[in-house]
Structure 1
Amino acid sequence: MSSQEVSSQPFRWHYADFDDGNFQIRGRTLFFVVVLFSIIIVFTLLFIYARWICRFSHPPPPAATSAPHVGRDPASVAAPQGLDLATINNMPIVLYKNSSAAAGKFTEAECCICLGIFGEKEKVKLLPQCSHCFHSECVDKWLTAQSSCPLCRAPLQVDSPV
């Protein structure tokens, strides 16, 4: 077909041909529409009910309760988890030396907290129990909240008998 033949044919589709005045939903179609709508409503109500039950059935977290020490045994109250500032400051700070680079192999060591690579002769804090090293700023923040090595979880504080 040439382009003139295509353009010479009249366009027979008109908006007036789509008269939706006699559009009807009857029989099974109406039944399925009502059932589908009912199922959607039931699932929506079940979802809202489940969220309401979950929200009000759980007790508030312990930090949100007022007067946390009232009515509790003093031995059951958790002690602070981190190390004290004097213990953190007494940990040795050494200059990092890559011993494998001197042997001909090159391995990069990094601080597992900030993922920064240690440079030659950079100051790092050495943990006494496990000999892992970290940037001083990084491990100081960790040790104020935790009393273990960030890498191997070795305890850094010996519990004193009370």
Structure 2
Amino acid sequence: MAAQEGAAGTTNQAARVRYGDVDDSNFALRGRAVPLLAGLLALLVAFVAVCLYLRWSCGRRRARRDHEASSSSAAASPVPGLDADAINGLPVTLYSPPASSPARSTAAKKGGDGGEEERRRQEAAAAVECSICISALVAGEKVKALPPCGHCFHPECVDAWLRSQPSCPLCRTLLLPAAVVANGGEPPV
């Protein structure tokens, strides 16, 4: 047992390191190492500073661009809709279905087999719809025919549309000049 303790004691002594025995010359900075490390540290600080500046600059530029875009779109946006006078100035008429052409009706009278087709065409022409509320326009019903394009709609349907949009709901023809002429006024400045 004593032999084992002695052998263990020698291994413990070899594994122990005294700080006085360590040579600090391996960690010492000599010659060009000090300026090199100082230069690398300065380069790292400069890189971080440039990155922070670019982040700040891009953020300001983006904020300025968003502000300019919102202010220019508000200034350049078209009129949101027509005013009440322009809407009331549009003509209201009684709806009458489009008449079939005389050539078709005479051909239908002469040939007995074409009469069924002609009747279907007349029913299709009579079943014209208000494209806003998707209900049929009935003969004798009040409709508003828009002057530039001639499309017909129920007055209450098209009035609600024209308060928000200055165009025909079907073909998107602008109605601003037509509404001004219908009112007998001058175009807005």
Q: TM-score, normalised by structure 1?
A: 0.50
- Structure having the higher helix fraction is 2
Q: Which has the higher contact order (CA 8 A, sep 6+)?
A: 2
